Chains A and B, each alone.
Chain A
Amino acid sequence: MKKHYRILEYALSSLLRRKYKNLALFFIYTLIVCLLSSVMFLTHSLKQEAINVFIDAPELIVQRLLGGRHDLIPLSYVDTIKSFPGVATVTPRFWGYYYDSLTGGNYTVMALTSNASLNLITGRMPEEGECAVGKGVAQARQLDINDALFFTLASEQKLMLKVVGIFTANSSVLTNDLVIFDKNDVIRFFALDKAKATDLMVKINNESEIATVANKIKRTLPDTRPITRSEILRTYENVFNWRGGMALVLFCGALLAFFIFAWDKATGLSAEERQEIGILKAIGWETSDVLTLKFWESTVISFTSFLTGVILGYIHVFEFGGTIFVPILKGWSILFPPFDPMPYIDLYQIVVIFFLTVVPYLASTIIPSWKAAIADPDTIMRT
């Protein structure tokens, strides 16, 4: 133990001798770990939040497809689906998108499906001639409660609504672009066929029968496409999986940078480092001592960088809302919710970051040192 302590002291002195080079190494290493951990923290947090929230999503949504596109579904399908055993209720949903030329934003317009009072709203839910809007819409249109909101699609499709509710900022991840109308207002505004709905929401008595009912709907009404709640949850698991999609794009850049950096270390030692090993061997150090020294040198760099990087990653995502990633995620969206991710942490992810960054770095510094340490000291010092 005492020996390791002394070698660590020597390793630190050795690192301080090349302090600018090692300091630069520490900053780059920390930055890469910070980026990797930020990606993992952000995607895991969004995934976990989606899973926790969409556990209450509709059990089954039935869409109609026409020519491979989503089409309005006839309300006559309601009775057909209701007649299936196990189906509790079938509720038509009326919704659509509205491009607001004033702000350039896309709003999601939905009709009310229930009259329950909600916790995350300032004001109340709308009745006919009224609307409730998300925080993003309220900010884009500078709206407050009791203000008037004007929508227009064509000369016949105009609506002047009174804003009676604004969804709170902490619900923005769900409601930022949402505008809630009364059902009749949605039908009138989009000029929908009165015998049709956008899709159907099916409630099933026994949760284990969802897949069976979905298959039965598909068989009986072949032009429909049922989407189950478990599929919604699986979609979010896939979208925010760190090994695919969004995360992979962000992740790959940082990981590639790290591999180039580790590869550079692995391909050889500098002349100064080789000379140092030669001198140590010449004054009586064993190969194992040289390897222990190199192990401690890389441990000092990698552990401090890893710990600092993970701490900074946490602060970046959970205190500053992942500001670095916002321009990438925002794309062309005008209404983008302010990020305030829930700090869900999975220890498995920290272990993955450790194995992706610390272990390859240790290996890449030990191998060339071992090659130099087993060579003749005289030869090393001459080269």
Chain B
Amino acid sequence: MLKARLFLWLIKIEILLLIGLYIHSHFMVGLREREIYGKRQLVRELSLTDMALFTEARYTRDISQADMFTPFQDFPSSFDHFPAGSIIEPNRDNVRGR
């Protein structure tokens, strides 16, 4: 029964590790609370609306400010040639009802 015992121990260790990581994540979020507060202050004082993740095109830099057809404004029926444009969904929410 050695193999079964070893396997069950391995599973127990992995489950404990996973629970440990879950607790670690909560602890880290609590520890970095000040960072979130600082970012909220930046957003409030600099009136920021978007994350600086994809800086290659204006409609990927400011996702929430761009409308659905922005990529095609370069010329009629132009293709979206920026890589980030293919991994960001069109901003349908801002177009609906406007």
Report A's interface with B, CB cutoff 8 A.
Answer: 5-6, 8-9, 12-13, 16, 46, 49-50, 52-58, 61, 63, 68-70, 91, 93, 97, 105-106, 108, 110, 112-114, 116, 118-120, 134, 136, 167, 170-178, 180, 199, 201, 218, 225-227, 231-232, 234-236, 238-239, 244-246, 249, 300, 303-304, 307-308, 310-311, 314, 318, 328-329, 331-337, 342-345, 347
Contacts and interface: CB of A to CB of B under 8 A. Distances in A.
A343 B29 contact: yes
Given A56-B43, A311-B21, A337-B52, A236 B15 contact: no
B56 A245 contact: no
Interface of B: 1, 3-4, 7, 10-11, 14-15, 17-18, 21-22, 24-26, 28-29, 32, 34-56, 58, 60-65, 67, 69, 73, 82-84, 86-89, 91-94, 98
Nearest to A313: B21
A171 B17 CA distance: 30
A366 B41 CA distance: 55
The DSSP consensus for interface residues of chain B is helix
B82 A332 contact: yes
Contacts of B41: 56, 116, 118-120
B55 A335 contact: yes
Given A110-B46, A318-B25, A332-B83, A227 B61 contact: no
A57 B55 contact: no
B31 to A, nearest CB: 10
Nearest to B17: A311
Contact of B65 (A114, A171, A227, A244): A227
